[in-house]
Amino acid sequence: MNDREAVAWLYRRAGFGLPADATTVAVGRGAQAELLRLVQTASGPAPADPWDDAQLPYDPTDQQARLYAIGTWLSSMIAGSDPLRDRMAWFWHGHFVSALDKVRVGRLMVDQIRLFRTAALGDFGSLLRAVTIDPAMLIYLDGGLSTATAPNENFGREVMELFTLGVGNYTEVDVKAAARALTGYRMRPRLQTATFVARNHDDRPQRYLGVDGVHDVDTVVGALLAHPALPTFIAGELAGAMLGTTDDSVVAPLAEAFVKSSFDIAALVSATLSAGIAGAGQEVVLAPVPWFVIASRVTGATVPVRQALAGLSAAAQVPMLPPNVAGWPGGQAWFASGTVVARANLAMMIASAAPVDNPAIEAARGGDLDALAGALGMISPTFDAASKKAIDAATTPRQRLALALISPEFVIS
């Protein structure tokens, strides 16, 4: 990749795209300097919180609060000044999955996203501990119903299978041991905070993942961090999202860097993105939400929240509403006919809302497709012949822009 392509790649994988004027400035600084700047910003104090708690009552029947919770996060990702933090919060949301349709209270989901934004590039062990007793997670995986006499195994299983170790690295005995060690937390949708009730906790020492004496949250987290599968699993998850590959030759050195840093997320992210800039990355199909956010940012478009969420629902991806604990599917799943049509409709909404002086609209108006590619912050400096033919066939600048936004060169990052 040349300097412009490397910067475009970095901002599409580690952020949500970059408008044309900002791209020029970033290219002047260089990709490695931009990477350092992104990591330093995301590792510092979080920017202003976008939510107003007055609009987020602890009321599971308040549909307006749910809409506000989701819509505000979507708008914040589009307008945000800390792109790596926002992209990592989105990554953790798809990794440590909870969903509003079961949690029901918009404020609890917002508080979980706040956790992800605050801890996005911090210590992984601290993040894992916080997620384990997070109110939204306790509701979503039934930890708030787990007692010594009736331990619930949902979180105990998923924390190993989906969150830290992967299939094949634990036994059913480990699931039961984790479930017992994590008992005692009380959380319901109508409660504002999680409470630990000692009489509901099974404090008997368990043997968990080969570690004796495990009996509470801290010892469960400690045993997970000590397991040799964790660094490779987490490095692989991040490499899959950022680099589009989980090849052992790529993931192994990232896992090693993660261990050497004592599980510092910022160190893992830096190593991962450096590998990508050096050429380790492969193509990634943008899921509907990252695609929508990138398209909105680079075109300067503001689509009304209700319309945007309706379109994203049709495209099968809405923030805070993953389909199950495994999160959203990826890759080829986003080329299903229904999602493709929905994305085309969203593209027209974005193109229709783009300001007349946005460089992408100006390039589309002049029919300069190479300039259009640059204005959209694409990694490729141009469109291929088939895409050019389709875009050129449009009769208006906004139709050209909409077609560019659903071209393979834009959708496949």
H helix or E strand, kind and range, residue 40: helix 31-43
Q: Provide the CB-side half-sphere exposure for 205 (13 A, CA).
A: 5
Q: What is the per-residue pLDDT for 177?
A: 98
Helices (H) and strands (E) in the chain, counts: 23, 4
Phi, psi of 195, rounded to the nearest 5 degrees: -125, 135
H helix or E strand, kind and range, residue 69: helix 63-79
Q: What is the per-residue pLDDT for 375?
A: 95
Phi, psi of 283, rounded to the nearest 5 degrees: -65, 145
State how far the Cα of 308 lies from the Cα of 15, in Å rounded to an integer: 20
Q: What is the per-residue pLDDT for 380?
A: 87
Strands in 3-91 per DSSP E: none
- CB neighbour list of residue 37: distance below 8 Å, 6 or more residues apart: 29
Tens digit of pLDDT at every position of the chain (413 positions): 889 999 999 999 999 999 988 999 999 999 999 999 999 999 999 899 999 999 999 999 999 999 999 999 999 999 999 999 999 999 999 999 999 999 999 999 999 999 999 999 999 999 999 999 999 999 999 999 999 999 999 999 999 999 999 999 999 999 999 999 999 999 999 889 999 999 999 999 999 999 999 999 999 999 999 999 999 999 999 999 999 999 999 999 999 999 999 999 999 999 999 999 999 989 999 999 999 999 999 999 999 999 999 999 999 999 999 999 999 998 888 998 889 999 999 999 999 999 999 999 999 999 999 999 999 999 988 999 999 999 999 999 999 999 999 999 999 97
CB 46 within 8 A of CB 40: no
CB 9 within 8 A of CB 1: yes
- Tokens standing for residue 378: 């694409």
State how far the Cα of 27 lies from the Cα of 32, in Å rounded to an integer: 10
Q: What is the per-residue pLDDT for 388?
A: 96
- CB neighbour list of residue 168: distance below 8 Å, 6 or more residues apart: none
Q: What is the per-residue pLDDT for 324?
A: 96
Model-level pTM greater than 0.95? yes
DSSP 8-state class, residue 285: B
Q: What is the per-residue pLDDT for 149?
A: 97
Using alpha carbons only, give the angle 107, 146, 212 rounded to the nearest 5 degrees.
Answer: 115
- CB neighbour list of residue 366: distance below 8 Å, 6 or more residues apart: none
- Tokens standing for residue 169: 């690295």
